[in-house]
Amino acid sequence: GAGVSQTPSNKVTEKGKYVELRCDPISGHTALYWYRQSLGQGPEFLIYFQGTGAADDSGLPNDRFFAVRPEGSVSTLKIQRTERGDSAVYLCASSSLGAGEQETQYFGPGTRLLVL
Amino acid sequence: KQEVTQIPAALSVPEGENLVLNCSFTDSAIYNLQWFRQDPGKGLTSLLLIQSSQREQTSGRLNASLDKSSGRSTLYIAASQPGDSATYLCAVRNPYDYKLSFGAGTTVTVRA
């Protein structure tokens, strides 16, 4: 079956522009996560969706970042007024809740964002 | 806040040698711990998941141990191969939320 997919794979934008990053989770997975990975670092949590609602958005760095998941499947991460410090790889993951301690998050290939 | 540290940051070994990768975490009240592999320019692939009640997990040449009381996990890779060259990430999930806390990773190079 298909894994988690993310588009675009690469995005180059100019400082101050608006960008949208898309994530298609594994079919049937109710939980969806966004992480951000800077060069040489591990991924850092941004936001978690359970169904359509954001259950935990404590990792969003500021109000320029926003994410939606209107139908409980595809999610879009939106960044307004991009800054050079936003350059990173944005990773999406999904999981099937109910597996308890065996729950595994499945990651997509990421979107590499470069802000010039 | 859970802090995860991985040592060493990089490791280079000749083919056939066993690999030992270390992960430590500050909050021992974990839900589970996962080891991931990341190839350059790629996403993360889950290798092993150890539940909080378990001491170790094995898959093929990979074995991961967990000592919650000391806040440590070790990933062993036996008889390394050049195809094992990648970055290995350790991630911890706490019982009070769903997010994973990652270490910075250990980048492994296996020389043919």
Cβ within 8 Å, pair A43-B103: no
Instruction: Please name the residue of chain B whose CA is at the shortest distance from the CA of residue A91.
Output: B43
- pLDDT tens digit sequence for A17-33: 999 999 999 999 999 99
Q: What per-residue confidence (pLDDT) applies to B41?
A: 82
Side chain identity at B26, as an amino acid letter? Answer: T
Judged against a pLDDT cut of 60, whether residue A74 lies above it is answered with yes
Query: What is the separation, in whole angstroms, between the first and last Cα of chain A?
Result: 37
The percent of residues above 90 in pLDDT, for chain B, comes to 88
CA trace torsion B46, B48, B51, B56 (10° rounding): -170
Query: What are B30-41's pLDDT values in tens digits?
Result: 999 999 999 988
Cis peptide before A8 (omega within 30 of 0): yes
Residue A3 to chain B, least CA–CA distance (Å): 11
Contacting B with CB below 8 Å, chain A residues are 4, 31, 33, 35, 40-45, 48, 55-56, 59, 91, 93, 101-110, 112
User: Could you tell me if A34 and B99 are in contact, meaning their C-beta atoms sit under 8 angstroms apart?
Assistant: no
Q: Which residue of B has its CA nearest to A110?
A: B43
Class of residue B96 by CB neighbours under 10 A (exposed 0-12, middle 13-18, buried 19+)? exposed
Compute the average pLDDT of residues B49-77: 95
Distance CA B7, CA A111 (A): 27
Place of tokens 């141990």: B65
Instruction: Say if the Cβ atoms of B89 and A59 lie within 8 Å.
Output: no
Chain B positions touching chain A (beta carbons under 8 Å): 4, 6, 31-32, 34, 36, 41-46, 49, 51-53, 89, 91, 97-105
For residue A45, count CB atoms less than 10 angstroms from its CB and return exposed for 0-12, middle for 13-18, buried for 19 or more. Answer: buried
| pLDDT over 90 at B95, yes or no | no
pLDDT tens per residue, range A44-70 = 999 999 989 998 999 999 999 999 999
